[in-house]
Structure 1
């Protein structure tokens, strides 16, 4: 299982670690290619049993309950004869299964690595996007721009079409817009993108990676082997540092994006216009207008940055300036990303439930002047002092929910003691209606009530979508 393509899977013993959205397609694909597939999975709930039954009907072996425990046919949890492990992104690197694989000299790939290795000759190049926040929006913007240029493309990775589906399916693509998480990049050693962007870097998933340095290093893998452009955030030095450290192909360029006027080899903003000084002739003197800030929806600063990153990748692939404008105009953001829910008595109600970490919440808070902030949930090891310090002057009040709300309450007490805080000591789903009622009490005409939790949702809700839906429903009940 070297670094090249594997053309003959017949009879190869592959262990897939984890069911779920990536494990099941991987098991199906490998089985279809003739591999002998064993799936190991930690969980043994109703959903896992249903997925296991579907795979077993195909002839795939499935072990539920503990994917890392040894049994009579394995050593330290490694199924006998295993030649390769394909892991779901969420499985942490410190799992005993991976230690056993390392000891046995068995390689570990993620779903992205598998898709990269299974590409057909002459397959579509990848334009890759990673970063702590903004990945999905940027990839969707990028796909919209590429489509506006008349290219056959898809938004893939954590969104849209599955990567394996895009690689193995019948549809032919010119180029793929690929969203990649730090988890996926950790397990994708041979990935080599046409061009890639790291949008930003802030502490997140440190419980999985072990340190900020390890997290950044995994994000930086997206630049390895880039051919045309490594796109970085000029306002986030850590992203530029990753470009400097990357081993790229000869002639690959560093291209920055900035919310200010761009220098040579940058994209930026001049008097409300998105401008390219990277992919033009004589970039020392020339610039190309791409679109207006008003073409970006919503035109919040961090979303304009997303648009510039998408434009940079599209321009690296050679699309005309007009396609950037047309693609941005055609793009509609997903729900729960700075979604305007309602205006009630002069107060705007905005759902940014997708702001599941402090960096995303900070970007959302920066978009409004006077805010009643609804926040809290699972902190994932984050600290909130910098977020509160940066946002204090904008806060009319705060309503805190969720398991780790005390961390935010304490940061507010330290850095914004004048801001009134309502601490809701409950984690049931009905807490959202009470939070909305308390926010209405604190708000004044001209304010924005903003759900930007800065935390994950799973202490109270199935996911951030459900949290956002609960907020929108509560707001509708207020206005009824």
Structure 2
């Protein structure tokens, strides 16, 4: 797109925040007539509005429902639901709606030559870890890259900033994919699919369809999870470029056109000569931190995307060795009296908690929070044999307690009737009482944190602080 495409174009940006403000600035810089609409009208919003108005942007606070007159395009924050009155009015008026990812895709390489290709990742869980692993591998290969998108670094900044990239590792949420109709990645992966954000999408089918958009138009590889047939089904339904391949990853020995694990080694039978007979060693399982099953799956997906881009095996190994996971993702906090304490506060849904629980045995499980409409029977049924005990906190802990009563009645349960932030210290003390040497106390809540904490980071910090209170004083 050229600057003349945007000169005088009337664009409405829906929502202030991490995506709306950069979008408004970029569009105004391209010469568009920009109006920002925002539901909120608080001190922070007014301060943000003042900064944009100084650039010539019109801002309407407290009115995110009305379509500004003459709007030719809407660029929306990803979290705005499709059934908002603003979007219904836009559809009636024939106005296109893009997300910030779509805008970044359209503007990539703007005035700077050939744009960097995108290696894209989505899934219910594991996206951020996989994208950061992928970026580490690409860096080990000597490529100029960045982990961007839903991971926190704006795609608009990445495609329009001063830094020149060879390739981008891109995390995309289902919200972002919903509003990105023309995205066409070099290669993409869907890590897994489980019910999540159904209040936003309306159904599991709609949620899966939005995830599947990531495969549309792929050039080289559509990477899927062999253990999750729903991801392969999305590959089969995708309209891709001729020659694009379906590449599976599995925790078992790989078939041709797959990556997998053989005798503790990550191996590639997809991007090798004569893949029916040959396999390429990539790394040891011990090179993955931590080597939990679901994290091995993340590493295989990252390796598949890197190999699709042409990265050599040694860079896969070196990149995985250099990678360090973010905080509150199956993070070992301490060993106290022979018991390991692990913080997986990021396990905010049942699918993530199931993966975390599968990594340890026996476990004293700390769980609870805001259930977001989730059911816990399947999670408890699958994990029951690993549980030494459970300590429940948070607003919706009764749902987990009832599932434990149905499927693990022999497991001792401590139900803390508290939702204050101090409840975490009490939960850790109760877990320590139930645990025996060799056990793991695992905080994998399977719920959102906002009933008790600002976010999952604060919840994880509270857990770590409580564990340190248990540790004997050191000189």
For Structure 1 versus Structure 2, the TM-score category normalised by the shorter chain is over 0.9
Change (3 A) 1:130 1:368: same
Q: 1:46, CA displacement in angstroms? A: 2.8
* Alignment-derived partner of residue 25 in structure 1: 22
Counterparts of 1:435-474 in structure 2, within 5 Å, are: 435-474=427-466
* Alignment-derived partner of residue 46 in structure 1: 43
Q: Work out which of the residue numbers 243, 247, 255 in structure 2 matches 1:255.
A: 247
Q: 1:6, CA displacement in angstroms? A: 7.5
* Alignment-derived partner of residue 96 in structure 1: 85
Q: Give the secondary structure class of the aligned counterpart of 2:19.
A: helix
* Alignment-derived partner of residue 8 in structure 1: 5
* Alignment-derived partner of residue 346 in structure 1: 338
Map Cα deviations across residues 17-40 of structure 1 (whole Å, 9 max, x no partner).
111111111111111111111111
Q: Work out which of the residue numbers 102, 116, 126 in structure 2 matches 1:113.
A: 102
What is the rounded CA distance, in whole Å, between the counterparts of 1:450 and 1:193 in structure 2? 37
Q: Work out which of the residue numbers 47, 53, 78 in structure 2 matches 1:56.
A: 53
TM-score by length of 1: 0.96
* Alignment-derived partner of residue 357 in structure 1: 349
* Alignment-derived partner of residue 71 in structure 1: none
What is the rounded CA distance, in whole Å, between the counterparts of 2:273 and 2:20 in structure 1? 46
Q: 1:305, CA displacement in angstroms? A: 0.4
What is the rounded CA distance, in whole Å, between the counterparts of 2:106 and 2:156 in structure 1? 10
Q: 1:44, CA displacement in angstroms? A: 2.1
TM-score by length of 2: 0.97
Are the counterparts in 2 of residues 372 and 448 from structure 1 also a CA contact under 8 Å? yes
What is the rounded CA distance, in whole Å, between the counterparts of 2:107 and 2:4 in structure 1? 8
Are the counterparts in 2 of residues 5 and 117 from structure 1 also a CA contact under 8 Å? no
Q: 1:41, CA displacement in angstroms? A: 1.2
Q: Work out which of the residue numbers 457, 461, 467 in structure 2 matches 1:475.
A: 467
Map Cα deviations across residues 290-346 of structure 1 (whole Å, 9 max, x no partner).
000000000000000000000000000000000000000010110000111111111
What is the rounded CA distance, in whole Å, between the counterparts of 1:225 and 1:460 in structure 2? 43
Q: Give the secondary structure class of the aligned counterpart of 1:79.
A: coil
Unmatched segments (≥5 aa) in structure 1: 69-76
Are the counterparts in 2 of residues 89 and 183 from structure 1 also a CA contact under 8 Å? yes
Q: Work out which of the residue numbers 198, 215, 222 in structure 2 matches 1:230.
A: 222
Are the counterparts in 2 of residues 206 and 381 from structure 1 also a CA contact under 8 Å? no
What is the rounded CA distance, in whole Å, between the counterparts of 1:174 and 1:102 in structure 2? 37
Number of aligned residue pairs: 469
User: Which deviates more, 152-161 or 347-356?
Assistant: 152-161
Q: Give the secondary structure class of the aligned counterpart of 2:158.
A: helix
Q: 1:45, CA displacement in angstroms? A: 2.7
* Alignment-derived partner of residue 366 in structure 1: 358
Are the counterparts in 2 of residues 456 and 464 from structure 1 also a CA contact under 8 Å? yes
Counterparts of 1:420-439 in structure 2, within 5 Å, are: 420-439=412-431
Q: Give the secondary structure class of the aligned counterpart of 1:280.
A: coil
* Alignment-derived partner of residue 379 in structure 1: 371
- Structure 1's consecutive aligned runs of 4 or more residues displaced over 4 angstroms after TM superposition are 4-7
Q: Give the secondary structure class of the aligned counterpart of 2:342.
A: strand
Are the counterparts in 1 of residues 3 and 30 from structure 2 also a CA contact under 8 Å? no
Are the counterparts in 2 of residues 6 and 117 from structure 1 also a CA contact under 8 Å? no
What is the rounded CA distance, in whole Å, between the counterparts of 1:20 and 1:375 in structure 2? 31
Q: 1:161, CA displacement in angstroms? A: 2.9
* Alignment-derived partner of residue 272 in structure 2: 280
What is the rounded CA distance, in whole Å, between the counterparts of 1:6 and 1:256 in structure 2? 41
Counterparts of 1:106-255 in structure 2, within 5 Å, are: 106-120=95-109, 121-255=113-247
Change (3 A) 1:449 1:79: same
Q: 1:445, CA displacement in angstroms? A: 1.1
What is the rounded CA distance, in whole Å, between the counterparts of 2:430 and 2:3 in structure 1? 59
> How much is the aligned-residue C-alpha RMSD, in angstroms?
1.2
Unmatched segments (≥5 aa) in structure 2: none
Q: 1:203, CA displacement in angstroms? A: 0.6
